[in-house]
Amino acid sequence: MNYKVITGLIVSQILLIFIHIYKHNLFIQHSFNLQKNEKTKEMLLIDLQNLENEWFELQKKSTVKDFAQAHLHMKPTKLSSLKKVTLPL
Amino acid sequence: MMFHPQKNRIILLFFIILSGYTVLFYNLYTIQIKQSSFFTAKGQQQYGVPVTMYPPRALIYDRNNMPLALNKDTLSAFIIPAKLIEPEKIVPFLKMHFPAAMPRLENNPTAHFMFIKRSLSENEIELIKKNQLADIHFLKEPARFYPLESTGPLVGITGADNEGLMGIELFCNELLAGTPTTMLLEKDARSNCFYFKRHMHQKGIDGNPVVLTLESNLQFLAYEEVKKTMQELQSEAGAALIMNPLNGHILAMVSLPDFDPNAPIDDMEKTKNITIADTYEFGSVIKTFLALAALAEKVTDLDEIIDCKNVKTTFINGTRVNNPVAHGQITFSEVIELSNNIGTAQIALRLGPKLYEHYMSCSFGQKTLITLPGEQKGFVNPPALWSKPSPISLSFGYEIRATLLQLCCAFCMIANHGYPIVPVLILKPDQAIKQPTERLYDQETMDKLLSILEKTVTQGGAHRTHIAGYTIRAKTGTANLLDENGNYDPDQNIFTCAAFVEKGNYKRVVVVFIKKANKKHVFASTITVPLAERIIEQMLIHENIIN
């Protein structure tokens, strides 16, 4: 009887140790995944930021003006050349 | 009694082992219980890595949510002087390409960290990569990117540590920067990127974005026009301000010379926002406020005939007064429309010290409530310091120094029919600015002044600002600058034009300024009036205020 109890206790102890190790491994695994995702998010945010900067760089008013005047032969508008038209409903 | 040497040896061995265990348990007790906190702290020091994370700096927007300041990453180069792998390569490289880093390296040869250069340019990054130096490492650092360069002196810039150095970046630094998050990461002994646990010490707060009242398109249009005029006249400085007099919103604030906020600054003088940081004696444009004072005090009226003596130079109260054109007997209204100094001098003498009080009540000589760094309060010569010519000088805009913003606010008060205006530059977060509700001048006085300013555009010195279909009122000013000896130099002038345009509920005040021109004998009517006209025209088109 005593032998069985002692064996049972030892086995359950070993089992608990393995469960604990497994739980700890799971924690590390998820923690690692979390950090990996955090890093990916960080990288994506940097990419987004760079793309946004490029987008606004392309929209720079001086660049747009130079392009419009040099390539599209556009000229500044005169107030006298504009007329407000009101369409009947 | 018999002697058992074997038993004694066993007893001795027992005691030796016992004492060994005693020492062991005592040590265990000391480590685990008595000095537990000490060793725990030691362990945490080795495995716990304190980390401070700064939130990204919040952005700055214009009133239409177009960004004026964005974030970007820059690369900085550093070395570890104490652990140089190829000193024979790195030293000549630094001497040739980064000589500024050499004295620091020579002074700290055992340092564990040293920046070679921060915020490297594309060329510098290429150069370092091309040379494949094992000792030079790169570090990513946050920095700013400004898509609208013309806002440089206003929005300002950040330094190498991403702290605001000037302008809005400095003024709203705490708001934009937020507060850092501090945490302790439990890592393995190698302290790799991976951590086991994260203990939050202090949770940071993200920065708050700042929305300005600026309209980036108007800013650009005004900037282009001022720049063009400056290039034509080879001027030293130029500026333009556009304000909505109904709510005090500043829609454009142009200050030239300026700098590229995305490039290193070569001249600190260019970083100055001259609309708030420089004060000038604006000349005849100030006659508007003399007229306002005279009408309010009822020392004259629009139709009163003033004898301007039909001469270009005369003496009034013992003071020599010059006028570029001779006028005879003209009405007070015409005195202001034609900007006659002889006429205004006579009115100033009638007003006496009250002229000073009126100038002060029009917000000259005191800071506006915009509270931007570097704002000057200007100066109005008080009666206690007056000499004999002082009231006459004050009547045509001398002995009164003001910033362009003060001038613009004073014109906003006129455009607002006597209600003063506090300039507003920051829309969000709400600054809780309450516009004054107390009227400074009654409707009758304001109507009279507005009729003078309207005639100035149709008949007087600002007649070029006339745009058919719009009510435009304006006043110009040409003033001499002081030379290095403190004398007024007739060949060094500043040219100002303050105008306000009205159509129905639409109201805008435009103030333009040019410092020095390469032409002689020119006036604001030929320099700043066409400039103001072009800006007003562009503004009306942009804001869809079309006939």
CA distance A68 to chain B (A): 15
| pLDDT reported for residue B83 | 85
Complex ipTM > 0.85: no
Adjacent-strand bridge partners of B65: none
Please judge whether B216 and A61 are an interchain contact, meaning their C-beta atoms are less than 8 angstroms apart. yes
Chain B residues within an 8 Å CB radius of A52? 70
Cα–Cα dist B122/B432, whole Å: 44
| pLDDT reported for residue B63 | 93
| pLDDT reported for residue B426 | 93
A46: buried, middle or exposed (CB in 10 Å: 19+, 13-18, 0-12)? middle
| Res B470 pLDDT > 90 | no
| pLDDT reported for residue B520 | 80
Placement of tokens 């004054």 in the chain:
B436
Please judge whether A83 and B72 are an interchain contact, meaning their C-beta atoms are less than 8 angstroms apart. no
Please judge whether A35 and B547 are an interchain contact, meaning their C-beta atoms are less than 8 angstroms apart. no
| Res B238 pLDDT > 90 | yes
Cα–Cα dist B448/B337, whole Å: 12
User: From the list A46, A52, A60, which residue is nearest B70 (CB)?
Assistant: A52
Interface of A with B in 8-37 (CB under 8 A): 28, 31-32, 35
What is the three-state SS of chain A? Answer: CHHHHHHHHHHHHHHHHHHHHHHHHHHHHHHHHHHHHHHHHHHHHHHHHHHHHHHHHHCCHHHHHHHHHHCCCCCCCCHHHCCCCCCCC
Cα–Cα dist B225/B341, whole Å: 30
Nearest CA among B171, B228, B498 for reference residue A76: B228
Chain B residues within an 8 Å CB radius of A64? none
Transcribe B395-415 into DSSP letters: HTT-SEEB-HHHHHHHHHHHH
pLDDT band at residue B360, thresholds of 50, 70 and 90?
Answer: very high
Assess contact for B366 and B377: CB atoms under 8 A.
yes
A65 touches chain B (CB under 8 A): yes
Cα–Cα dist B520/B322, whole Å: 17
* pLDDT tens digits, one per residue of B114-170: 898 888 888 888 998 888 888 888 888 888 889 888 899 999 999 878 889 999 999
Chain B residues within an 8 Å CB radius of A35? 193-195
Assess contact for B68 and B155: CB atoms under 8 A.
yes
pTM for the predicted model, two decimal places: 0.83
Q: Are strands B249-256 and B305-307 parallel, antiparallel or unpaired?
A: unpaired
Cα–Cα dist B85/B264, whole Å: 32
DSSP state of B271: G
Instruction: At B361, list the tokens.
Output: 């009540």
Q: What is the mean pLDDT of residues B249-265?
A: 90
CA B458 vs CA A47, B138, B472, B473, B507: distances in Å: 57, 64, 9, 9, 19
Chain A residues within an 8 Å CB radius of B194? 32, 35
| pLDDT reported for residue B268 | 84
| pLDDT reported for residue B409 | 95
| pLDDT reported for residue B318 | 86
Chain B residues within an 8 Å CB radius of A83? 546-547
| pLDDT reported for residue B436 | 85
User: From the list A32, A56, A65, which residue is nearest B70 (CB)?
Assistant: A56
> Residues near B144 by Cβ (< 8 Å), separated by ≥ 6?
B57, B69, B70, B71, B72, B157, B158, B162, B169, B261
Look over chain B and give the mean of its residue pLDDT values, rounded to a whole number.
88
| pLDDT reported for residue B483 | 85
Q: What is the mean pLDDT of residues A37-61?
A: 88
Please judge whether A83 and B71 are an interchain contact, meaning their C-beta atoms are less than 8 angstroms apart. no
Please judge whether B546 and A84 are an interchain contact, meaning their C-beta atoms are less than 8 angstroms apart. yes
To test the contact with chain B by mutation, choose from A52, A61, A78 the residue with the greatest count of B C-beta atoms within 10 A, namely: A61
| pLDDT reported for residue B327 | 87
DSSP state of B107: H
| Res B461 pLDDT > 70 | no
Tell me the three state secondary structure of residue B352.
coil
Lowest-confidence segment of A41-45, A50-54, A83-87, B5-9 by average pLDDT: A83-87
Transcribe B45-84 into DSSP letters: HHHEEEEEEPPPPPPEE-TTS-EEEEEEEEEEEEE-GGG-
Residues of chain A above pLDDT 90, percent: 31
| pLDDT reported for residue B464 | 63
| pLDDT reported for residue B463 | 63
Give the other-Cβ count within 10 Å of B143's Cβ: 22
Tell me the three state secondary structure of residue B138.
strand
Please judge whether A53 and B193 are an interchain contact, meaning their C-beta atoms are less than 8 angstroms apart. no
User: From the list B149, B217, B540, which residue is nearest A79 (CB)?
Assistant: B540
| pLDDT reported for residue B191 | 62
Cα–Cα dist B449/B414, whole Å: 8
| pLDDT reported for residue B466 | 66
Q: What is the mean pLDDT of residues B378-388?
A: 92
| pLDDT reported for residue B224 | 93
| Res B509 pLDDT > 90 | yes
Chain B residues within an 8 Å CB radius of A65? 224
CA angle B40, A14, B189 (to 5 degrees): 30
Q: Are strands B60-61 and B210-212 parallel, antiparallel or unpaired?
A: parallel
To test the contact with chain A by mutation, choose from B149, B193, B541, B543 the residue with the greatest count of A C-beta atoms within 10 A, namely: B541
Placement of tokens 């998010």 in the chain:
A41
Chain B residues within an 8 Å CB radius of A77? 541
| Res B43 pLDDT > 80 | no
Assess contact for B376 and B352: CB atoms under 8 A.
no
Cα–Cα dist B288/B275, whole Å: 20
